[in-house]
A and B are shown apart, each in its own frame.
Chain A
């Protein structure tokens, strides 16, 4: 049978899209340019969480250990600690929860400074990921956009966008839909870290608050969607796992680049879920 018409679906939504989906149990897969190197934006936080867990498993750090985040430590961002003013003291695992559930940039950088960017990349290399690399902190990513354009947010001018390192896969945190889906597969198969750590990561990823992307494609009480979003000017994505009531589990990653630089683009968000649903439906036929 012919595969789903992803290209048409993305075109109608006003985006270019890349997608990969795999049945976590049968190994069946479907993709749409799934090996394109793309900015992974905040989805890098999943790789950071994996390495955090591995270091905790190895006894290198204590997930219940407390960290104080001061105003000086803050990275820009609209959620979590990034949006707060005063000093906060919390455990590493609670920082990780904020980093995943609301994409808290400050929490991410606080963790990254303890875990180390090199350690995250060594872990990725060890698992055989060829494209996926973390090259910038969350704060650096935001800062680079201001430097590259010479002005602050918002970034709406096509020439500004063309100059951004944050959007250049060679220089920004990058991955491919296939590798992002595989990273989630490792977590769901208890292979990314210890089984206890993987179980905890699944719980945290299931607390993802944004309902407008992957979850929007599965508006059903008996379907669980866990994932992590990623957003940069014109780029929107989410990778995660969809779990069906009959036990079927599917790792899905979708990244889109909008033709328009508009900040509000609901159809570009929703098509991530629609495409994911089409992919899962295809895998279940």
Chain B
């Protein structure tokens, strides 16, 4: 365990006044530093982040941009025993610091100190996959050019050792000129040493900075001398910097030389609409820098006319890989088995052109089957609990408005939604497991051809897969897609993926109206199949939608697809647990705030206006009958049926009932009654509200029975005695919810990510139309078949 909770020894003897430090909450630590965690994808960076910070993580946004900022706090002491608090900034995984997508741009700006100017990075921790050091040194060489103190962490050292590879970390540290430490974040090897090293490096850096700072301010920043690039690059960078000084840019606000160098190299071929170092610089310093960069780029070409390639990036990559090879001189001793065979052996099946597809479908089916079957027990517990609480409230409170608010509004509403916490947790558990063990990249590989058929790439797979949990992180995950058109198409279809908020709706209706027929000796059940097909509805509809978008407003060439397939590994339970935990907390908070407020509003609309005195009289009468246990059954039953009648007429005449009857003609063709119509309308802010709404309607309307909401829905009848819910009705409701954009959070996140109201309005409109048409077709066709 970490030492975060241990009381620090040096606080003893500190006078009380000294402990009120102006800095902030860290009154117990000597210093406060910010450390950036950078690395290629698949280096175990998030596992390392978790091992260092535990659950002590804050998320937010960078000022002005919408990129998620993940900061973890840990405490570490130096070798001299001083205790420091360290803020770990987790940057998105990247292969290169050449900014090409919005989140790579933020990573670069954080590292150069152009974002969060008041909180500069004190130390860079570069996470390197110990099994592929040479490839990872590419990024290391770029990071070294930033001129910041740095530590290289050789993570997953256990995987490399198990192949018999020996790595001389001291020699590598000597070659690179920065500290190198070997860790295994998943086995928690070397974590405490890493913390010490971070604290030591931060502390020494700080003391060094204090003495030299005044003189440094007057110096013009120069490219880092350790750069492996040809001298022409550094000369050109210097020259651009000189132009800025000539244009009277104050020394304090000159850019990091790395930015200029990137602008020189990348400028040639920027994709339209994506951020580059050059656009960044010209925004900050105006046209003079654009011209200087153009001139100097020509200079590099001329100075090196005999060079091998016309492309500056080509020259950059050659120089960096040659440098990486030189750094590894004498560092790595190859073992007997130089390749881990079992990843390839598993891949022989999972990425096979036939078995790969079959296993992909089997894995997806297994997930839906287990979400459906495993969650039953904890669900019953929560259901029982909410019934017990409701009974308790009824027992201690006399009938009246307040009791009605608590039992009919809050418990029936919020409780009905909370029941689905186990499923949400399970869904996130499976997604986290698949991602952490390395299968997600294989899934993207297997489905890429199918995605490309409708204009997307395997890169859209992860955002779309995340959208099965929730479209909000799914839309945010599209930032990894470089092509703007692909990104917008993915954003447009992401809300069609059935998110976890739809799951409760499906489960409720399937549980109530789909017979639990079993096939294949119990291995497959009809409810699970229906559940899976509801998920497929969204996917199947997304295909033509994406295709149409790519043929019309988002027309253009296919984007590149280069994807690393990481080695399989056992999932790190801490990472998986923390993802499930965060998702569950978010769900409960949502139920406690948004759904809570909606429940109260819906209850009020269902309660008012109306004279409830007769209802409360009857309830009092009934409860006293139950208590005395002597009255005859006939009068009890008579009172009970009168109560239900009174409740039913009250809700029909309430605000909710009137609104429902007003919209009934619109929802009638879908096979719905007014109650479902009201539920669907009420759930436009958030889908789960339909459960709260139906729970409240049936509870207020006196139709709640012992089986909870499912029982009430089964028993629900039209005045002529025919059941409200039939299988086609249930399917039509489910299809409507599968396709409709009933989520304010998603629409707002689309607005933020696209920076325009056009896209959220488009997705709301097309999804609502699709949902209505889909539900109409389902009911009209379904009611003719069944």
A binds B: no
Which B residues are closer than 8 A to A by beta carbons? none
Which A residues are closer than 8 A to B by beta carbons? none
